[in-house]
Structure 1
């Protein structure tokens, strides 16, 4: 098993899931990414969320929702992604930063614009009662 291990922030605003588009990507992703050496999941997620959507969230504020496994999109060396999903409250506006050039708030009708792991995370968020 050659999984790419990542963390993601499930952030719902007015019943819509926050998603981002990185430069050069055709599908949308959830804010998040890979841990750097020495980081735990929550520290990595706090850093990634700051780098991608300019949100400052304390690592301890992230609440784990679960881990999904899905086909990796646009990752030639990995056949699957193992994504641990977290949620955390944040009420300030988000703005794209770093490699992110677009932030979207998706409705159920737009779910298929997400990469496969994002669609699985959508289902997890719905199962946990975060999405309608």
Structure 2
């Protein structure tokens, strides 16, 4: 779904554990990405994240604990198919992280693994690294 400015958007979840960050990979894809997805019409960011994480990882996001981590954009004309915006949140959750049918694999990456994620996700990896959260 695109925002009012026509830019495609995704709401993503940043989950850190033991100096690693959670990423997922869809079936048939090579690159990993942060879990989350596009808004349905009329959804807020918290509603989107709650729904998407339930669909992708069968876990319940605690919407009250959501904290905006940052918004990352790939401009129009970028080789990674811009324009694209990813709005990232940290949040607590309940339940085990169990990949759904669309998710082939979940993994826990360090900054050194940034070449295994999409271009916009690599931007988030760099921000996590710069803030000392992802070695």
TM-score (norm 2): 0.84
Q: What is the correspondence of 1:50-61 to structure 2 with a 5 Å cutoff?
A: 50-61=54-65
Structure 1, unpaired ranges of 5+: none
Match of 1:13 in 2: 17
The 3 A distance-change label for structure 1 pair 55 and 129 is farther
Matched, 1:28 2:37: no
TM-score (norm 1): 0.85
Match of 1:126 in 2: 129
Native 8 Å contact 1:9 1:45 kept in 2:
yes
**SS of residue paired to 2:70:** strand
The 3 A distance-change label for structure 1 pair 98 and 61 is farther
How many residues matched?
128
Rounded to whole Å, the distance in 2 between the matches of 1:66 and 1:122 is: 11
Q: Which moved more, 1:50-59 or 1:15-24?
A: 50-59
Q: Deviations over 1:30-84 (max 9, x none)?
A: 00010101210111011111111111013222111110012585xxxx5221001
> Which structure is richer in relative contact order (CA contacts within 8 A, separation 6 or more)?
1
2:113 to 103, 110, 115: 110
Q: What RMSD, in angstroms, separates the aligned Cα atoms of the two structures?
A: 2.0
Matched, 1:97 2:100: yes
Rounded to whole Å, the distance in 2 between the matches of 1:51 and 1:29 is: 15
